[in-house]
């Protein structure tokens, strides 16, 4: 999943990085095929090259050696809202058929069964990045037909990368379509884990297993 997510980045992309799986994937890309990728975190660390995997988006390793550290007013207005972000990389608790993301609540907002952390920067990243990539594990409760709460809109979501497969967003029909499978996963496996009638691409790619180079890079990424 991480290798497939990393593969989505082109060398030189300017990427706004969310915490967790997105951060791991971006640093893996930087360590392998995309050494010139420009990583930007919400904390204001710009073109950062952390020497350890950050546990949070404000980790001190994101500061040491970064090209720029700016206040959050600047990163959200002059960089994100101004339109400089090629790729926004997000996680999500729920993803729906239209690619909307939920990180706010399960159940109604006024009486939630589960209170999730909230938007953070996700709502604006999803609105302004030219292309949004989502990385999250494939589970039925995480892929309902409609999310309980739209934290981040799906219009700019290009791909949803999971541990079983990849979905691509069909922008004419505003829905996620199955476009690639990992080895050993079938279309029916995926169908059973989404809460809507899943459309499948005419040409479903079979994703290669990670190469030795990627695995080595993954293992060598030092943890905070």
Partner 1 sequence: MRDAVAAHVRDGDVVAIEGFTHLIAFAAAHEIIRQQRRNLTLCRLTPDIVADQMIAAGCLSTLVFSWAGNPGAGSLHAFRRAAESAEPAAPPRGRLALDEYSHFGMVGRFAASAAGLPFWPLRAYRDTDLPVANPNIRQVTCPFTGEKLAAVPALRPDVTIVHAQRADRLGNAQVWGVTGVQKEAAFAAEKVVVVVEEIVDETVIRADPNRTVIPGFIVDAVVHEPWGAHPSYAQGYYDRDNDFYSRWEPISRDAAALEQWLDTYVRSVPDRAAYLDKFPGLRQRLAAKAAPSAAVNYGY
Rounded Cα gap, residues 193 and 172, in angstroms: 24
Rounded Cα gap, residues 120 and 20, in angstroms: 13
Question: Measured from the CB of residue 167, what is the shortest distance to partner 1 in angstroms?
Answer: 19
DSSP reduced 3-state for 167: strand
Q: Pick between residue 22 and residue 210 the one whose CB is nearest to partner 1.
A: 22
C-alpha closest to that of 164 among 133, 186, 146: 186
DSSP reduced 3-state for 171: coil
- Catalytic residue positions? 42
Beta strands 131-135 and 114-115 are unpaired
Question: Measured from the CB of residue 124, what is the shortest distance to partner 1 in angstroms?
Answer: 4
Site for partner 1 in 66-105 (CB under 8 A): 69-73, 76, 80-81, 104
Question: Measured from the CB of residue 171, what is the shortest distance to partner 1 in angstroms?
Answer: 14
DSSP H stretches of helix in 78-141: 122-128
Contact, 129 vs 85, CB < 8 A? yes
Site for partner 1 in 121-180 (CB under 8 A): 121-124, 127-128, 149-153, 155
Q: Pick between residue 68 and residue 200 the one whose CB is nearest to partner 1.
A: 68
Q: Pick between residue 70 and residue 201 the one whose CB is nearest to partner 1.
A: 70
Question: Measured from the CB of residue 20, what is the shortest distance to partner 1 in angstroms?
Answer: 7
Task: Report phi then psi at 39, rounded to 5.
Answer: -95, 130
Site for partner 1 in 29-58 (CB under 8 A): 42-45, 55-58
- Give the residues lining the site for partner 1 (CB under 8 A): 19-20, 42-45, 55-60, 62-65, 69-73, 76, 80-81, 104, 109, 111-124, 127-128, 149-153, 155, 224
């Amino acid at each position: 999943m991480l290798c497939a997510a990393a593969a989505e980045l082109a060398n030189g992309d300017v990427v706004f990085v969310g915490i967790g799986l997105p951060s791991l994937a971006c640093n893996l890309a930087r360590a392998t095929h995309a050494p010139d990728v420009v990583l930007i975190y919400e904390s204001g660390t710009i073109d950062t090259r952390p020497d350890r995997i950050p546990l949070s988006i404000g980790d001190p390793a994101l500061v040491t050696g970064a090209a720029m550290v700016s206040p959050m007013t600047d990163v959200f207005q002059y960089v994100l809202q101004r339109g400089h972000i090629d790729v926004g990389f997000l996680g999500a608790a729920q993803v729906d058929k239209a690619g909307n993301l939920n990180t706010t609540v399960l159940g109604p907002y006024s009486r939630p069964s589960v209170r999730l952390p909230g938007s953070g920067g996700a709502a604006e990243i999803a609105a302004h990045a030219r292309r949004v990539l989502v990385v999250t594990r494939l589970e039925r409760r995480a892929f309902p037909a409609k999310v309980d709460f739209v934290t981040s809109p799906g219009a700019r979501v290009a791909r949803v990368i999971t541990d079983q497969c990849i979905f691509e967003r069909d922008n004419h029909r505003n829905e996620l379509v199955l476009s690639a499978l990992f080895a050993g996963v079938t279309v029916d496996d995926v169908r059973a884990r989404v809460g809507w009638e899943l459309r499948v691409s005419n040409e479903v790619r079979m994703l290669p297993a990670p190469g030795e180079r990627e695995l080595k890079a993954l293992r060598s990424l030092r943890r905070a």
